[in-house]
Structure 1
Amino acid sequence: MAKIEIYTTPTCPYCHAAKSLLNEKGADYTEITVLDPALREKMTQRANGRRTVPQIFIGETHVGGYDDMAALDRAGGLDPLLAQ
């Protein structure tokens, strides 16, 4: 299974939804909480300027936020990406 990193904050409902979807898929992920400004800056650089959370990376692919990942799942593209 691909390496998954998800940048979050503790109170973000979209972060919780993204983690829930990944849990439903049985995917292991590393959660990076971006309360520290340096971590948020690193996330922003990796996410091509996007500052909102969550930001999800599967392998080398920047999936985007929860809405992006959910759309990818509905289109049938999430499972193959997770299986890499």
Structure 2
Amino acid sequence: MLPRASFRRPPSMPEITMYTSASCGYCVAAKNFLRSRGLEWREVRIDLDPEERARMVERARRTSVPQIFIGDTHVGGYDDMMALHRAGGLEPLLRDDG
């Protein structure tokens, strides 16, 4: 397991929340991407907590993982996050001006 980045989220930066499960390759890819950008996130393992799974489905209206939120904004899954990044929409969300 790779060590967590030493990045400290500035108070103005929204929290990144990622709903994951243990056997999810896209979850690993999403975490690797965020780590490569020096970002931290709060990981919520839905395979360990049925209540968190229900909360994820309520928030995201999806049952697949990962489901990624920046603040209260639902980014979607890994492919959605990468499409948003390629379109230039990820950075504004991280700066909380998107």
TM-score class, shorter: over 0.9
Report percent identity of matched pairs: 55
Aligned Cα root-mean-square deviation (Å): 0.9
Which of these residues, 40, 56, 61, is aligned with residue 43 of structure 1? Answer: 56
- 1:3 equivalent in structure 2: 15
SS of equivalent residue, structure 2 residue 88 = coil
Name segments (4+ residues, structure 1) moved above 4 Å.
Answer: none
The C-alpha deviation readout for 1:49-76, integer Å capped at 9, x for no partner, is 2000000000110000000000001111
Distance 1:4 1:28 in 2: 7
Residues 2-61 of structure 1 show CA distances to partners (whole Å, capped at 9, x for unaligned) of 2110000011000001111111111111000001222111100010x2000000000110
Q: TM-score, normalised by structure 1?
A: 0.93
Q: Within 2, Cα distance between the matches of 1:81 and 1:18?
A: 16
2:94 counterpart letter in structure 1:
L
Q: Partner of 2:5 in structure 1? A: none
Structure 2 counterpart of 1:79, one-letter code: E
Does 2:64 correspond to 1:81?
Answer: no
The structure whose Rg is larger is 2
Q: Does 1:25 align with 2:29?
A: no
Q: Secondary structure at the match of 1:31?
A: strand
Secondary structure, counterpart of 1:11 in structure 2: coil
Distance 2:17 2:45 in 1: 11
Q: Contact conserved, 1:12 with 1:53, CA < 8 A, in 2? A: yes
Gaps in structure 2 of 5+ consecutive residues = 1-12
Count of paired positions: 83
The corresponding residue for 2:67 is: 55
